[in-house]
Amino acid sequence: MDDLLYDSIGLFINPNFQDDVMSYFRAVGHIENTTPLVVAEDILHCIYTELNFKAHFDKEERLAFSCIEELSHLFTLDNDVFNTPHSAQVRYYAVSLNSIKSDRTTIANVILNAFAKNTSDYIVIMFRHDSKCLLSFAKKTIGCVTFFSDWFDYSSISNILQKSSIANLSLQNSGEFFLDFAYMMAREYYTHPKSKDLIHSEWYLLNDDDYSRLAWNDYAQELMFGHIHDYGDDYIEPPNNADYQKDNFDESDFDFDLLELELDEMIAAGLDIEDDEYGVEEEDFFFDESEQIDISHIPSEILSDPVKLLKWLEKNEQTEKIIYMCK
């Protein structure tokens, strides 16, 4: 194991990135040989000709391709590797990027999607930027489902090798193998997304009188969206996550959820609910008889005609309580 860790140093610093990636996948049992299928001498020629991609690439994709320093099609796992046949194979690529750090994950995402849209096979790409690597996964469905690992360096290679080991992955078919591999390597917010239900549960467990509903609202947003801030430029929205995107989060909805939970908890405990604590006054729902407004002075022909009544109300600047009394 120590020799393997030492050999892995080249993955992050050596030229000929593809050779070190091949050694990496051989070490974890994905492949036996160490010779890539294709090593690009000219990046664009390789993409359009040697990799046999047929789809049209848009301006954003072509711009991303211009950031590729090294590109290789490493190997493909076909049905001979698995216990039962499957319609899709698993294709492995290695890509070394030359870009500013803030753009690295966005560029990797564009390249991954561009490769995946050209095939029905599963795509695995190991990216390198400076001295860090990233494993990415894609499967073309109705759109393109993608997964990303964290960027990692030599300090975490032992854990990465263990997660990538063939011993941890299903060999039943290529689909199960791919999903196992993607799940093992994916970022935590892909595999363990936060939800409102989870936050509700935490509210019950951690309920503290010192927490206002506003404080809990802030806490909820931190739980659900804190990872977006933590990842910064390296954040990529996980698939099928529209319900929990930050732009779709309504603070008032969650505030109401917390109020409802508080009320349910108090009722379950047999406690009286003090309306003032929640800013709800009884008169918001019922009129005190002492405050009822005398409408006897309003002519009956006005009361019987909604149009005339509205005009009369506007003219006399009466309150909405008159409308309630007239019903």
Q: How many residues does the chain have?
A: 327
Strand order in the sheet with 68-77: 38-39, 68-77, 90-97, 122-129, 132-140, 144-148
95 pLDDT tier (thresholds 50, 70, 90)? very high
Could you identify the residue written with the tokens 């929990």? 244
pLDDT at 93 over 80: yes
pLDDT of 54 reads: 78
Q: pTM for the whole thing?
A: 0.70
**Cα 58 to Cα 326: distance, rounded to the nearest angstrom:** 65
According to DSSP, the β-strands at 90-97 and 122-129 are: parallel
Q: What is the pLDDT of residue 45?
A: 92
Nearest CA to 237 out of 87, 325, 113, 76 is that of: 113
- Per-residue pLDDT of 172-224, as tens digits, reads 999 999 999 999 999 988 888 776 666 666 665 655 555 566 666 677 777 77
**pLDDT: which is higher, 53 or 64:** 64
Two tokens, residue 218: 């802030």
More confidently predicted of 162 and 244: 162
pLDDT interval class at 320 (50, 70, 90): very low
Tell me, letter by letter, the H, E, C secondary structure of 183-209. HHHCCHHHHCCCCHHHHHHHHHHHCCC
pLDDT band at 16 (very low <50, low <70, confident <90, very high): confident
Quick one: DSSP state of residue 122?
E
Quick one: pLDDT at residue 246? 42
pLDDT value of residue 225: 77
**Helices (DSSP H) in the chain: which residue ranges?**
2-7, 10-13, 17-27, 43-45, 59-65, 104-116, 157-164, 174-185, 188-191, 196-206, 213-231, 251-268, 300-303, 306-316, 321-326
Q: Rounded to whole angstroms, what are the CA distances from 19 to 12, 92, 156, 264, 290?
A: 12, 13, 20, 62, 88
- Per-residue confidence band for 116, with pLDDT thresholds at 50, 70 and 90: very high
The token duo for 233 is 């430029």
Task: Calculate mean pLDDT across residues 60-68.
Answer: 96
CB atoms within 10 A of CB 91: 21
Interval 60-84 mean pLDDT:
95
* Residue 142 pLDDT greater than 90, yes or no: no
Average pLDDT of the residues in 53-79:
93
pLDDT tens per residue, range 168-177: 999 999 999 9
311 vs 59 pLDDT, higher one:
59
